[in-house]
Amino acid sequence: MANKERKGLRQKSTQLEVSLKGRSIGAAVNLAMNRGFVVGREVLLGTVPGIVVGYNIASFGQFIGSAYPLVVRTALGVTKCGLEEVSLVCD
C-alpha cells in the first residue's frame, strides 16, 4: 500500500506550544473553580438545568479546554461549555 499524501493545514506542535496550551487550560479550569463551578454543582446552561460533572482538559480538537473548561450533564446530554454560557443556581 502506498502512503496517503496529506494536504491539510495541520502542523506539528512543538513541545513549548503544547506546554503553553496546557497552562491556559489549567488557568481556565482554575478560574471556573474559583467562580464556584465545582463538580456536583447545579448550574443553568441558558435555561436548561444541569450539573457540573468534570473539567475539559482537551488541548486539541473543536472544543479545547481553554475555551470550554466545563463538562455539564443536562437532561439533553453531556456537553462542554464556556463560563459565559453557564450560571450558578442559587439555593
* pLDDT tens, position by position, 28-39: 999 999 999 999
What is the pTM (predicted TM-score) of this model?
A: 0.74
19 inside domain: yes
- Tally of structural domains, the chain: 1
- How deeply is 11 buried, as exposed, middle or buried, from its count of CB atoms within 10 A (0-12, 13-18, 19+)? exposed
32 inside domain: yes
Residue 72's DSSP bridge partners are 52, 79
33-90, pLDDT tens digit by residue? 999 999 999 999 999 999 999 999 998 899 999 999 999 999 999 999 999 999 999 8
Domain span at residue 35? 15-88
2 inside domain: no
Quick check: 40 and 11 in contact, CB under 8 A?
no
What are the cell numbers at 70? Answer: 466545563
What are the cell numbers at 88? Answer: 450558578
Q: What is the CATH number of the domain that holds 66?
A: 2.30.30
SS3 string of 18-36? Answer: HHHHHHHHHHHHHHHHHCC
**More reliable by pLDDT, 69 or 91:** 69
8 inside domain: no
